[in-house]
Amino acid sequence: MAQISTEQALQIPQQLKRQSSQSGSDRQTVATPVKEATKSGKAISDDSVTIRLEQSEQTLKKISVSDFKQSLGQDNAYVKETLKNKLSEFNLNPNTPLSLGRDMFGNLEIKGPLLQGDIEQIRQDLEKSPEFMNAFHRLSQHQPTLDYVDNVVKLSKAYGVSNALFNSIVSEDQQFNGLTDIAHRYQAMKTTNEIPPEDSLSEGHFKLTVN
């Protein structure tokens, strides 16, 4: 049996202590990647949930733009045809380019290359027709809303993005998604200053071009 010196015997406890410390360090090193892996796994899971939520929020609520266009298209055609007939009654070219809108007081306004007296007489005659004024009123009230809805849907299809404002004013129940319903909810949000400038609906600037 080998003999050890007194000095060597005194060094044994210190060596054992160093080995124990190194072993603990190795165990900690092994445990750290496991812990980090666990954290990483949790982060990936959280990210995947976030992505799924974002994808669901990017879905644009469906609305029948074609039905709106068909409904207003009938009023549009009626107004244009009535104005052409009125030009013919005054022995004027029915293909004269004119624009119809509303003045600052909300009254019917006609602009075009005609004598002011003829324009005024045509305007007064048209205002006497309830059918014409009702059709014109629907156009001036709903066309800006339709243009807004149509633009949002086109952008969504082209770029695959949603519109938070649009989704907030569209009801889950389709029977409450008429142009009047959407316009009223839009106005309600506008009065509370919840509408950013880039989402502004171009109301008050309706103009119908004839010919």
Is pLDDT at 51 greater than 50 in this prediction? no
73 and 137 in a single domain? The answer is yes
- State the Cα torsion 94-99-100-106 to the nearest 10°: -150
86 and 10 in a single domain? The answer is no
Q: Which of 90, 81, 78, 74 is nearest to 124 (CA)?
A: 90
Query: Could you give the C-alpha distances from 103 to 71, 100, 167, 192, in angstroms and in order?
Result: 25, 10, 32, 27
Choosing from 57, 75, 96, the residue where a domain stops is: 57
Mean pLDDT of 157-180: 85
CA distance 99 to 91: 19
pLDDT of residue 165: 82
Where in the sequence is the domain holding 13, given as residue range(s)?
1-57
Q: Does the reported pTM lie above 0.85?
A: no
Mean pLDDT of 49-63: 54
Average pLDDT over the chain, rounded to an integer: 76
180 and 113 in a single domain? The answer is yes
pLDDT of residue 48: 44
| 117-134 pLDDT, tens digit each | 999 999 999 999 999 999
22 and 70 in a single domain? The answer is no
29 and 74 in a single domain? The answer is no
Is pLDDT at 11 greater than 50 in this prediction? yes
In the chain, how many domains are there? 2
| 58-101 pLDDT, tens digit each | 566 777 788 889 989 999 999 999 999 999 999 999 999 999 99
Instruction: Give the residue, 32 or 98, on which the prediction is more confident.
Output: 98
52 and 70 in a single domain? The answer is no
